[in-house]
Structure 1
Amino acid sequence: MLRSLHIKNYALIEELHMNFDAGFSVITGETGAGKSIILGAINLLLGQRADVKSIRRGEKKCVIEAVFDISKYNMKSYFKENELEYDDECILRREVQSSGKSRAFINDSPSSVSQIRELGEQLIDIHSQHQNLLLNKEGFQLNVLDIIAGNEQILSEYVQVYTEWKALEKSLKKLTDLAEQSKADEDYIRFQLEQFAEANLKVGEKELLIQESETLEHAEDIKSSLYKLTQIFESDEVGLLALLKEGLLELNNLQNIYPEAEELAQRMESAVIELKDIAQEIADKSENVVYNPERLQEVENRLNIIYSLEQKHRVQSVEELMALEEDFVTRLNDITSYDERIEELTNQCAVAFDKAKSKAAQLSNSRKIAAIKIEKDLSSRLLPLGMPNVRFQIEIKQRETLSVHGEDSVSFLFSANKNGVLQNITSVASGGEIARVMLSIKAMIAGAVKLPTIIFDEIDTGVSGEIADRMADMMVEMGGLDRQVISITHLPQIAAKGSSHFKVYKLDNEEETISNIKKLNKEERIEEIANMLSGATLTDAALSNAKSLLGYK
C-alpha cells in the first residue's frame, strides 16, 4: 500500500510530502486548490506521458516519488522476471526535465516508463470521473466478469490458443493470396522457362561466340596475313628459314677454326627449330581458317538469342540469365506445392480453432456462473444506496466470431424503477446512479483482487445526504483487510468517515500561487467539515454538525 508521496516542482506545487496509513483516508479542499494536481502527479509517476508544461515555472525538473509497502502482496516473482531488486519497501520515482527528457526508477534502478506503468497498475487503481464511462465498454464489463469468476488462468490459456489460431489464420490468408497471385503468373513463368529451355544456355558461351564471330567475319584478311607470314618464313630464295639455315651452315664451318662459333651455332640451331615450328603452326592455321557464311549466320543467330534474353530480362550476362532461370524453376515448384501447403495449413487452423473454441466455451460457462453472483451481489449493494427498486442484469450473448476476449458479447442492463424496462446501463442511469454502480463494482472487485491501494476521485458526484453516508461506509469497508482506500471528495458525510483527513489548499505570495497539503488534526478536521457543511461562514450549528458527523462529543 502507499506509504508516502513526495512531489517537488510539479505544476503549482513547490514541494509537499504526504504519509498515508492503511484503511480509508480522505482528501478535501476547495475547487481549484490543487487536488487534481496531486492526482496528476500520481498519474505521471505511474507512467502517464510526460509534459514539460507540468514543471513548475522557473525550475529545471520536477520529481514525484512514492514509497509502497508490498510485503504482503507476493510480488517477488514480478521483480525477478523483470530483473529488479526486490525489497518489501518499493520506491517508484519519476523525473521530468525542462529539456523534455523523462526518467523512471524502481528501487533506485533506472527502468522504462512501460515497466513502471506495469508495476503501478498492480499497486494503485485510480478511479476518476471519466472512468464511469468505462461502464458502457464491453472490455470493462468482461473484465469485471473475469475478475469475479477468477478467470485469470482460463483467460490466459484462451488468449494463448486464440493468438496461435489467429497467427495460423493470418499465415493461411497470406499463403492463399500468394498462391492466387502465383497461379496468375504461372502461364508467364512457364512461357519464360520454355524460352530458356529452347535457348539451352551454357556458362561462358557468349564470350566464345563473340570471338568466333569476329574470326568468321575477318576470315579472308586472317588467311591472307597468315599466307604472307608463311611466305616470309618458307620462300625458297629469300625465306627466313632458308637464310637462317645458310647462316647456321656458315657457323658450323667456322667451328674448326673459330671455337667460339660452336655456342653461336647451337643457339641459332635452337632458333631455327623454334621458328620452323612457328612457321608450321602458321601454315596449319592458314589451312584451318575458312570463310564460312553459314556458320557465321548460325553464330549471329545464337548471339541474337542471348542478347534478346539479356535485354528482355535486363541483365548483362549468361550467368545472370541462368540464375534467373533457376529462380523461375523455384517459383514454379512453389506454385505446384501451394495446394499441398494450403491444405496442411488449413488443417492446422481447424485444429487451433477447435482449441480456441473449446477454451472460449469454458470461459463463457465460468462467466455465466459469475454473472449470477454479480447480479445478486450488486443488487444487494445498491439497495441501501437509495435504489430500493433497482434491477441489474448481465446479458451474455454468443458472438458470431471469436475475439481476443472470447465468444461472449456482454451488456450490463439496468433499471432503477419498479416498472422500468431493463436497458443498457449508460442509456438510462443518471450520473449519480452510475457513480453508485461503479463504487459497488469496485467494492466487489476489491473483495476478489487484493489490490493494495484504490483512489477515488470524486466518485460521490451526484449524490448527497444519506446516500453519501452509505457510500462512505462502503469505502470504509473496502479499506479493511490490509487494503487502502483514498477518496478525493467534496461531501462532508464521506470526509467524516476517513481515518485520516488531508486538506489541499493554496497560498499566494507576491510572485506566485502555491498548492500545498496537510494532514488535519482533530480541531482542524472539525473546522474543515464545518466549512464543507456551511460554506465560507463558519457557524456554531455547522461546528456542532461536524462534531456529530465525526463522532466527537
Structure 2
Amino acid sequence: MALKRIVLRDFVIVQALDLDWHAGFTVLTGETGAGKSILIDALQLALGARADADVVREGCTQADICVEFDGCARLRPWLEAAGLACEDSSLLLRRTVDTQGRSRAWINGTPATATQLRALGEQLIDIHGQHAWQSLTRPDAARALLDAYAGIDSREVQGCWSRWSQARQALQHAQSAQDSLQRERERLQWQITELDKLAPQADEWDELNAQHTRLSHAQTLIDTAQTTLQMLEDDEAGVITPLGRASHLIQNQEHLEPDFQNIADVLASCMAQAQDARHSLQSYLRRADLDPERLAELDERLSLWMQLARRYRRTPDELPALLAGWRQELQQLDAAVDIEALHAAEQSAQQHYQASARVLSQQRALAAPRLSRAITQAMQGLGMEGGLFEAALSTADSPGAFGVDSVAFLVAGHPGASPKPIAKVASGGELSRISLAIAVTTSELGEAGTLIFDEVDSGVGGAVAETVGRLMHALGRSRQVLSVTHLPQVAACADQHYLVAKQRARQGTLSTVQPLDSAAREAELARMLGGERQSETTMAHAREMLAMARQAPAPRPPPRRAGRQRPQADADRTRSKPGRAANGARNTNGG
C-alpha cells in the first residue's frame, strides 16, 4: 500500500493542489514558513484527525481534501465488512470542512465516519513528528511502544483489571455503607414486627367494615325485619291474606271473562313473591344475633388498622402491600450486607488479575532487552557511537489496566555515561537523534505502507545527517517514505524531491508544491547549503552531495515485523467515482 495522490482545495494557504506521489524516498523542502507541514496536516485530517474551521482558506466556504492510495487489496475484507467498495485495489479518502468546523467524510465515495477514517489511517500511514521524544518521557507511551514492539496484547489484563475494579468497588461500597445499612435493616425489622401484630390480609379491610356495619345496626335490622314480617302475615292489615282472597275471587270468574286469567296469574305471582319474602325474613330473624362481643372485636381491629395507616401515612387498604414491600427490602438488605461473599469475589478477581499481569510482565521482560539492543544499534550510526539505550522495567506504584509494570526509557549519550531518563538528556541534537533511532527502529512494526518523518532530523547535521538520509533511503526500498526536512544531506538521498514555496497573489499568500528536476534540485540544495545567494561553490557542493548520495552504500534498515490485524467497522453504502490522477504535480493557484 502506498500514497498515490493528494488533492487539496482551499486548505489553509493552499488554493488548489493536485500532487502525485511515488514509491521510494521522497523529501519536501522549502523555506521556514512555506507550509511544508501543511501536506502532513492535510493527510492527518483525511485520516480522521479532529476537524477545525481554521483549516478553511480565508474567504472560502470549505476546505476539501482528497487522498488516493493504491495496492490496497489487503484491505478488501475490512472494506467489504464495512459495506465499502474497493475496486481495482485503489482507495479514495475524502473529507470536507466548512467554516463552522463541520466535516463530512467519504471512503471510496461512500459516506463514512471519522472513526472509520482513523481505523484505515492506522493501516495506511505512520507519522513520526519532530517532538515524538516528548511523549516517550511518559511511562504509558513507553509501555505502549514496548508492547507494540513485542506484539503484546494486553486486552486480557484489561478485562481482568475491569472485573477486579468492579468487585473492589462493590466491596468498598458495602463496607462503607454497612453501618447505615444495619440501621436501615433494624428500622425495617421494627416496622415489620409492628405490622405483623396486625397481620393485615388483602381485601380484609373491606370485609371488616362490612361486618362492623351489620353488627352496629343489628337491633335496627331485626326490628325492621319483624315489622315487615308482621305486615305480610297480619290477618287484618297484612298483605298475604288479602292477596289470597283477591286471587280466589278473580279465578272464580275466569269462565265468564277470559281477560281475568291474566289478572289471576299476576295476583298468583304476587302471592308467591310475598310468601318468599316472608320465608326470607323468618330465616333472617332465626339467625340474627346482636353479638356485642364480636362488635367490640371489630371496633378494636378497625381502630388498629386506622392507627397504623395514619402512622405510616397510608390508606388502610394499602397496609398489606406496604408490609410485603418492607419484607422484600429487608431481604435485599440482608443480601447487600453479605460482606464475606463480596470479599471472596474481590479476592478471586484479584488473583485472576495478578496471574494475567504476571504473564504480561514476563513478556515485557523478554522484549525489553531486544528493543534496547535494536535502538542502541540504530544510535551508533547517528553520531552516538558508544551510546546506550535501555528500556527499563520496574514495578509501578500501583497496578492498572495494563499490568503492574512501569516502563522508562533511559539513555547514555556516550561511552562510560550512566543511562538516565530520556527527559534529562540535555542536548537537543541528542534528543533528535535518539528520537530518530526510536522512529527508525519502530517504524517497521506496523502495517502502514507509508512512513512520514516530519522534521525528525532537527538538531543534527554533518555526517550524522548523511547517515539519516541514507537510512531513510534504505527504508524506502521496502516502504514508501516521505520526509519533511531542512537538511541538504537528507534531501540529497531522496528518490524524489518536492519544493514547497509561498507566493503573493491577489487572493493573499498562497503555498505551492512543485517536483524538482535535476537542475532545480541542485539549486534547492545550494539554497539549503548557503542561503538565497547561490554561488558556484554552493552549486558545486550540491552536485557533489547528489553524486555521493547515489554512490554511498545504504545502511541496512531493521527487519520488518508482522503487524496485527485491525478491528473492523461499519458504514452505509453509497458510491461515487473520482477523476483519474495525472502524472506530476498540478498547482492551480491563481496569480
Query: TM-score of the superposition, structure 2-length normalised?
Result: 0.82
CA pair 311-132 structure 1, distance change in 2 beyond 3 A: farther
Name the SS for the 2:127 alignment partner. Answer: strand
Could you tell me whether the CA contact under 8 Å between 2:425 and 2:431 is conserved in 1? no
User: Which letter does structure 2 place at the counterpart of 1:126?
Assistant: I
Could you tell me whether the CA contact under 8 Å between 2:380 and 2:387 is conserved in 1? yes
Instruction: For residue 516 of structure 1, report the CA deviation from its aligned partner.
Output: 2.2
CA distance in 1 between counterparts of 2:40 and 2:472 reads 19
Name the SS for the 2:63 alignment partner. Answer: strand
Structure 2 counterpart of 1:119: 120
Structure with greater helix share of residues: 1
Is 2:521 the counterpart of 1:521?
no
Q: Which moved more, 1:397-406 or 1:25-34?
A: 397-406
Given candidates 415, 419, 423, the residue that maps to 2:420 is: 423
Is 2:53 the counterpart of 1:52?
yes
Partner deviation per Cα, 1:311-368 (whole Å, 9 max, x = no partner): 55555564x544443444344444555677953x655554554444333333222322
CA distance in 2 between counterparts of 1:120 and 1:323 reads 61
CA pair 112-302 structure 1, distance change in 2 beyond 3 A: farther
Instruction: For residue 169 of structure 1, report the CA deviation from its aligned partner.
Output: 4.6
Could you tell me whether the CA contact under 8 Å between 2:126 and 2:443 is conserved in 1? no
CA distance in 2 between counterparts of 1:40 and 1:97 reads 16
Could you tell me whether the CA contact under 8 Å between 1:179 and 1:335 is conserved in 2? no
User: Which letter does structure 1 place at the counterpart of 2:510?
Assistant: I
Q: How does 1:144-543 map to 2 (within 5 A)?
A: 144-152=145-153, 155-169=154-168, 182-282=181-281, 284-285=283-284, 294-313=293-312, 315-316=314-315, 318=317, 321-337=319-335, 343=341, 347=344, 349-399=346-396, 401-416=398-413, 420-481=417-478, 483-543=479-539
CA distance in 2 between counterparts of 1:389 and 1:431 reads 18
Instruction: For residue 67 of structure 1, report the CA deviation from its aligned partner.
Output: 1.6
Could you tell me whether the CA contact under 8 Å between 1:416 and 1:429 is conserved in 2? no
Instruction: For residue 230 of structure 1, report the CA deviation from its aligned partner.
Output: 3.6
Q: Which moved more, 1:408-417 or 1:177-186?
A: 177-186
Could you tell me whether the CA contact under 8 Å between 1:29 and 1:490 is conserved in 2? yes
User: Which letter does structure 2 place at the counterpart of 1:547?
Assistant: R
Instruction: For residue 16 of structure 1, report the CA deviation from its aligned partner.
Output: 1.0
Partner deviation per Cα, 1:22-59 (whole Å, 9 max, x = no partner): 22211122222222332222221121222233223444
User: Which letter does structure 2 place at the counterpart of 1:195?
Assistant: E
Could you tell me whether the CA contact under 8 Å between 1:124 and 1:454 is conserved in 2? yes
Instruction: For residue 115 of structure 1, report the CA deviation from its aligned partner.
Output: 1.7
Name the SS for the 2:381 alignment partner. Answer: helix
CA pair 514-217 structure 1, distance change in 2 beyond 3 A: farther
User: Which letter does structure 2 place at the counterpart of 1:494?
Assistant: V
Partner deviation per Cα, 1:238-282 (whole Å, 9 max, x = no partner): 223333233223223333544432332222111111122224434
CA pair 256-341 structure 1, distance change in 2 beyond 3 A: farther
Could you tell me whether the CA contact under 8 Å between 1:493 and 1:549 is conserved in 2? yes
User: Which letter does structure 2 place at the counterpart of 1:402?
Assistant: P
CA distance in 2 between counterparts of 1:517 and 1:37 reads 11
Percent pairwise identity: 29
Residues paired across the two proteins, number: 547
Could you tell me whether the CA contact under 8 Å between 2:130 and 2:457 is conserved in 1? no
CA pair 308-471 structure 1, distance change in 2 beyond 3 A: farther
Structure 1 counterpart of 2:582: none
Structure 2 counterpart of 1:7: 8
CA distance in 2 between counterparts of 1:332 and 1:426 reads 58
Structure 2 counterpart of 1:64: 65
CA pair 217-516 structure 1, distance change in 2 beyond 3 A: farther
Could you tell me whether the CA contact under 8 Å between 1:415 and 1:429 is conserved in 2? no
CA pair 301-388 structure 1, distance change in 2 beyond 3 A: same
Name the SS for the 1:201 alignment partner. Answer: coil
User: Which letter does structure 2 place at the counterpart of 1:426?
Assistant: A
Name the SS for the 1:395 alignment partner. Answer: strand
Q: Which moved more, 1:210-219 or 1:496-505?
A: 210-219
User: Which letter does structure 1 place at the counterpart of 2:434?
Assistant: V
Name the SS for the 2:37 alignment partner. Answer: helix
Name the SS for the 2:507 alignment partner. Answer: coil
Could you tell me whether the CA contact under 8 Å between 1:175 and 1:342 is conserved in 2? no
Q: Which moved more, 1:515-524 or 1:427-436?
A: 427-436
Could you tell me whether the CA contact under 8 Å between 1:213 and 1:299 is conserved in 2? yes
Instruction: Compute the RMSD of aligned alpha carbons.
Output: 3.2
CA distance in 1 between counterparts of 2:307 and 2:117 reads 65
Ranked by relative contact order (alpha carbons within 8 Å, sequence separation 6 or more), the top structure is 2
CA distance in 2 between counterparts of 1:78 and 1:346 reads 44
Q: Which moved more, 1:462-471 or 1:75-84?
A: 75-84
User: Which letter does structure 2 place at the counterpart of 1:78?
Assistant: W
User: Which letter does structure 1 place at the counterpart of 2:542?
Assistant: A
Name the SS for the 1:497 alignment partner. Answer: coil
Name the SS for the 1:471 alignment partner. Answer: helix
Structure 2 counterpart of 1:108: 109
Q: Which ranges in structure 1 are unaligned for 5 or more consecutive residues?
A: none
Name the SS for the 1:7 alignment partner. Answer: strand
Structure 1 counterpart of 2:37: 36
CA pair 362-6 structure 1, distance change in 2 beyond 3 A: same
CA distance in 1 between counterparts of 2:200 and 2:380 reads 90
Q: Which moved more, 1:168-177 or 1:391-400?
A: 168-177
Name the SS for the 2:265 alignment partner. Answer: helix
Could you tell me whether the CA contact under 8 Å between 1:172 and 1:342 is conserved in 2? no
Query: TM-score of the superposition, structure 1-length normalised?
Result: 0.87
User: Which letter does structure 1 place at the counterpart of 2:364?
Assistant: R
Instruction: For residue 120 of structure 1, report the CA deviation from its aligned partner.
Output: 0.7
CA distance in 2 between counterparts of 1:40 and 1:184 reads 62
CA pair 262-192 structure 1, distance change in 2 beyond 3 A: same
Instruction: For residue 396 of structure 1, report the CA deviation from its aligned partner.
Output: 0.9
User: Which letter does structure 1 place at the counterpart of 2:327?
Assistant: V
Instruction: For residue 406 of structure 1, report the CA deviation from its aligned partner.
Output: 1.8
Could you tell me whether the CA contact under 8 Å between 1:52 and 1:100 is conserved in 2? yes
Instruction: For residue 530 of structure 1, report the CA deviation from its aligned partner.
Output: 1.8
Q: Which ranges in structure 2 are unaligned for 5 or more consecutive residues?
A: 551-591
Could you tell me whether the CA contact under 8 Å between 2:46 and 2:93 is conserved in 1? yes
User: Which letter does structure 1 place at the counterpart of 2:457?
Assistant: D
Partner deviation per Cα, 1:518-546 (whole Å, 9 max, x = no partner): 22222222222222222232333222222
User: Which letter does structure 2 place at the counterpart of 1:122?
Assistant: Q
Name the SS for the 1:369 alignment partner. Answer: helix
Could you tell me whether the CA contact under 8 Å between 1:501 and 1:519 is conserved in 2? yes
CA pair 284-367 structure 1, distance change in 2 beyond 3 A: same
CA pair 394-429 structure 1, distance change in 2 beyond 3 A: farther
Could you tell me whether the CA contact under 8 Å between 1:446 and 1:478 is conserved in 2? no
Could you tell me whether the CA contact under 8 Å between 1:460 and 1:489 is conserved in 2? yes
